[in-house]
Amino acid sequence: MNSPSINTKQVNVINPKPKRPLTFKKVIKTSLTYGTLLFVTLIMVGPFLWLLATSLKSGGENIFSYPPQFIPEKITFQNYVEVMNFFPFWRYLWNSIIVSVVTVLLNIVFCSLAAYPLARMQFRGKTLVFVLIISTMMIPFQLLMIPIYLLALEMGLQNTYAGLILPHATTAFGIFLMRQAFLTIPYELDESARMDGANSFQIWWRILMPLVKPSIVTLSIFTFMMAWGDFLWPLIILNDTSMYTLPLGVNTLAGSFSANWRYIAAGSIISILPIIIIFAILQRHFIAGAMKGAVKG
Amino acid sequence: MKRNPLTPFLFLVPGLIILGAFIFYPMLHAIWLSFTNYNIVNDAEFIGLENYQALLEDPLFWKVLGQTLLYLIIVVPALVVLPIFLAILVNKQIKGIGFFRSAYYIPVVTSMVVVGIAWKWVYADQGVLNYILDSLGVISAPVNWLTSTSTSIFAVMIVTIWKGLGYYMVIYLAGLQSIPDDLYEAADIDGASKWKQIWHITVPLLMPSIMIVTIMSSISAMKVFEEIYVMTGGGPLNSSKTLVFYIYQEAFEKLQMGYASAAGVVLFLITLIFSIINIKFMNKKENVIKG
């Protein structure tokens, strides 16, 4: 844990300074840094760890003991086995995957299609169109949810994937992000492709899209997180529980087993596993994406 | 140029259809509904400003509006300041720092429903929070954090802040990494303390990120819903109800679509103020509109 030698080495790689001897003060400082980091980690993941601990406690154990017992006396997976009987995890997972993946794909295509002329063509009304699109970022979904709900009812979109996906299929943020990405690419590329006989669609798909992959990744992660975690809209548009996404599924579970904390805890842990796994694999992109999103707008 | 003048619009069509159908049209429809007594069962009937008048006369509306502003006043400063310290803490080139950054980001990726469930457990009478405060001698008897009118909204705020920390930390981290190291080295040589360095170097150079975080966190604080829905249901006695929760209940529980739309328009107007500041700021900083 206390590895001041590594600390010194790392700093030196970036900032060659005369090597200072390893002092007592330095050891204390490094321990203090790691101590603080671990303390904050405990605050940030503590509630989840306690949920995990509860989910692993057997029925014979008092989960309301005071002082709270963190480590289960005997770890059991029985709660998980039993909760799977009431909690159609695979069904909810499937719904969440369909909704999120299709939302991401539609956003990539629609946002970058719309961003292309806004970044690289001259036409009448361009500024007006762009300002109109950007201004939609100011409109809270909570104002729109009533008319969108009425519209979705009329279009027969209640309890359908289309109803969950379409309202989020294009976002002003996505158009803005893709436009910024297209603006950074030299114009000469378009011109030379046009000389070779490429049309606008081919330029967009074959030349520009491959060059903005990092922005596509950022857009995908943002959209995915939005779609995966969305709660309010699915809550409104769905009343058929077989169409529920994971957050709604867990919410129902919590409602119907309000007395059985072990089941609720187990169901909650199962429901966050997929996103935690995706995050663990792609965490670099998640964090880089959030940083880029912030810098860009 | 021999290009077809329609080409730009062909590219714009799919996106504009979606935005038109699910933002522009609903926007106008919502404003229209706010002047009607629509309740799903009967046809909409124009009633002028009656909904707005009823809103102003509804003590519950003023209560939730006040609580929404309270949310703003407490949550926004916390989310502007605390993540700066987190970002400074993780902006180090030491072993395992990637692990800590990821750990702090986990609440951001987890669904609010599960976050709410986990915190309900923390806040329980026999829960960890009461135990810790009890052991430290801060409280003498367990506090009913979520079921007492004096604490419920603050308990929910802590969850909103806690879930947002990691996200804004990463935004600050991007800002911190653009500050050149030599500035700190020079300050070190001059013998400036760490606190002085934060105040005189980090904070001024982080200003653009601070502005972005202020605006983003204000807009999201205006729209708080899920944590309240999951943890308190707005109670007890409406003590943790905010504007969006109120709109949701009026629209989808009481089916007062016209009335709820009027409350939505109020929400929009308040958000608009923050967004205008946003656009002004972005315009000055990056000139985005002209590109």
pLDDT tens-digit map of A229-274: 999 999 999 999 999 999 999 999 888 777 788 999 999 999 999 9
User: Residue B245's closest chain A neighbor by CA?
Assistant: A142
**A7 closest CB neighbour out of B21, B94, B260:** B94
Which of B3, B10, B13, B22 would you mutate first to test chain A, the one with the most A CBs within 10 A?
B22
d(CA A34, CA A30): 6
Q: Which of A297, A172, A174, A286 is nearest to B211 (CA)?
A: A297
CA distances from A268 to A5, A44, A275, B11 (A): 41, 17, 12, 42
CB-based contact A250 B114, cutoff 8 Å: yes
pLDDT tens-digit map of B144-153: 999 999 999 9
d(CA B30, CA B53): 17
For residue A40, the chain B residues in CB contact (below 8 A) are 86, 89, 100, 104
Q: Is B255 on the interface with A (CB under 8 A)?
A: no
pLDDT tens-digit map of B68-107: 999 999 999 999 999 999 999 999 888 899 999 999 999 9
Query: What are the two backbone dihedrals, phi and then psi, of residue A127, each rounded to the nearest 5 degrees?
Result: -60, -40
Q: Do B248 and B267 touch, CB atoms closer than 8 A?
A: no
Residues 215-254 of B with CB under 8 A from A: 222-223, 225-226, 229-230, 244, 247-248, 251-252
d(CA B194, CA B190): 12
CB-based contact B267 A143, cutoff 8 Å: yes
Query: What are the two backbone dihedrals, phi and then psi, of residue B46, each rounded to the nearest 5 degrees?
Result: -70, 125
Q: Which of B221, B222, B169, B291 is nearest to A296 (CA)?
A: B291
Q: Is B41 on the interface with A (CB under 8 A)?
A: no
Asked if the interface predicted TM-score (ipTM) of this complex is over 0.85, the answer is yes
Q: Is A195 on the interface with B (CB under 8 A)?
A: no
Query: Residue B78: its pLDDT value, please?
Result: 97
Whether residue A20 is predicted with pLDDT greater than 70 in this model: the reply is: no
Residue type, A246: L
CB-based contact A114 B117, cutoff 8 Å: no
Q: Which of B12, B231, B116 is nearest to A129 (CA)?
A: B12
Mean pLDDT for the stretch of residues A42-57 = 93
CB-based contact A114 B89, cutoff 8 Å: no
Residues B33, B34, B39, CA angle at the centre, nearest 5°? 60
Query: Residue B287: its pLDDT value, please?
Result: 45
Q: Is A229 on the interface with B (CB under 8 A)?
A: yes
